Chains A and B, each alone.
Chain A
Amino acid sequence: MRLSSHRLWLEDHEIEIHCRHYGDRLEVQAGETSMDLSLQSEDEVLLCLRSGDETMSGVVLSTPEHMVVSFRGRTWSFNRRARPVLSAPDPKEKFGPMPSPMTGTVVELACSVGDEVAPGDLLIVIEAMKMEHRLVAPGPARIREVNTEAGARVNIGDVLVELDPVDSETP
Chain B
Amino acid sequence: MGRETATVWSEADVGSPHALLADQGCTIGAAPPLSSYLDGDRILDAAREMACDAIHPGYGFLSENAEFAEKCAAAGIVFIGPPPDAIRSMGDKGESRRVAEAAGTPPVPGWEGSDDDATLAEQAERIGYPVLVKATRGGGGKGMRRVDAPEELSGAIRGARREAETAFGDGTLLLERYIHPARHVEVQILADSTGRVIPVLERECSLQRRHQKVIEECPSLAVDPDLRVRLGEAAVRLGRAVNYVGAGTVEFLLENDGSFWFLEMNTRLQVEHGVTELVTGEDLVEWQVRIAEGEALTLPDHPEPCGWAIEARVYAEDPEAEFMPQSGLIDHLTLPAAPGVRVDAGVQQGQEVTPYYDPMLMKVLAHGSDRTTATQRLRSALEGLHVVGPKTNVAYLIDVLESDVWGRGDTFTHTLEAEFVPSPTESIPDAVLALAAWRLATPTQEGSPGPSRRRRDRWSPFGRLGPFRLVPPVGGPE
Interface residue? A35 (CB, 8 A)? yes
| A60 vs B437: C-alpha distance when bound (angstroms) | 10
Q: How many residues of A contact B (CB 8 A)?
A: 69
| A101 vs B474: C-alpha distance when bound (angstroms) | 8
Residues on the A chain within 8 Å of B437, using CB: 6, 17, 19, 26, 28, 30, 35, 37
Given known A28-B434, A51-B434, A76-B432, contact A138–B474 (CB-CB < 8 A)? yes
- Evaluate contact between B355 and A128: CB separation under 8 angstroms: yes
Residues on the B chain within 8 Å of A46, using CB: 334, 386
| A61 vs B461: C-alpha distance when bound (angstroms) | 9
- Evaluate contact between A4 and B382: CB separation under 8 angstroms: no
Interface residue from B430, B442, B450, B473 paired with A101 (Cβ < 8 Å):
B473
Given known A59-B332, A61-B331, A66-B462, contact A47–B397 (CB-CB < 8 A)? no
Interface residue from A10, A66, A93 paired with B465 (Cβ < 8 Å):
A66
- Evaluate contact between B356 and A107: CB separation under 8 angstroms: no
Given known A63-B461, A66-B465, A103-B355, contact A77–B470 (CB-CB < 8 A)? yes
Interface residue? B74 (CB, 8 A)? no
| A84 vs B327: C-alpha distance when bound (angstroms) | 28
Contact with B along A114-139 (1 / 0, CB 8 A): 00000010000001111111111010
B103 shortest CB reach to chain A, Å = 31
Interface residue from A11, A17, A62 paired with B433 (Cβ < 8 Å):
A17
A167 shortest CB reach to chain B, Å = 20
| A33 vs B334: C-alpha distance when bound (angstroms) | 28
Given known A73-B397, A131-B210, contact A33–B433 (CB-CB < 8 A)? yes
With most chain A CB atoms within 10 A of its CB, the pick from B383, B385, B436, B452 is B436
Q: How many residues of B contact A (CB 8 A)?
A: 68
B155 (CB) vs chain A CBs: closest residue:
A122
- Evaluate contact between B436 and A93: CB separation under 8 angstroms: no
| A138 vs B386: C-alpha distance when bound (angstroms) | 34
Contact with A along B441-478 (1 / 0, CB 8 A): 11001110010100000000110010010111111111
Interface residue from B435, B447, B474 paired with A93 (Cβ < 8 Å):
B474
Residues on the B chain within 8 Å of A102, using CB: 324-325, 327, 355
Given known A44-B452, A70-B332, A73-B396, contact A129–B357 (CB-CB < 8 A)? yes
Interface residue? A165 (CB, 8 A)? no
Residues on the A chain within 8 Å of B452, using CB: 44-45
Residues on the A chain within 8 Å of B439, using CB: 47, 60, 62, 67
Residues on the B chain within 8 Å of A113, using CB: none
Give residues in A with beta carbon < 8 Å to B. 4, 6, 8, 10-11, 15, 17, 19, 21, 26, 28, 30, 33, 35, 37, 39, 42, 44-47, 49, 51, 56-79, 93-94, 98-99, 101-104, 107-108, 120, 127-136, 138
5 cross-chain CB contacts under 8 A = A28-B438, A71-B432, A73-B392, A73-B397, A94-B475
Give residues in B with beta carbon < 8 Å to A. 142, 159, 162-163, 166-167, 210, 322, 324-325, 327, 331-332, 334, 355-359, 382-388, 391-398, 425, 428-442, 445-447, 450, 452, 461-462, 465, 468, 470-478
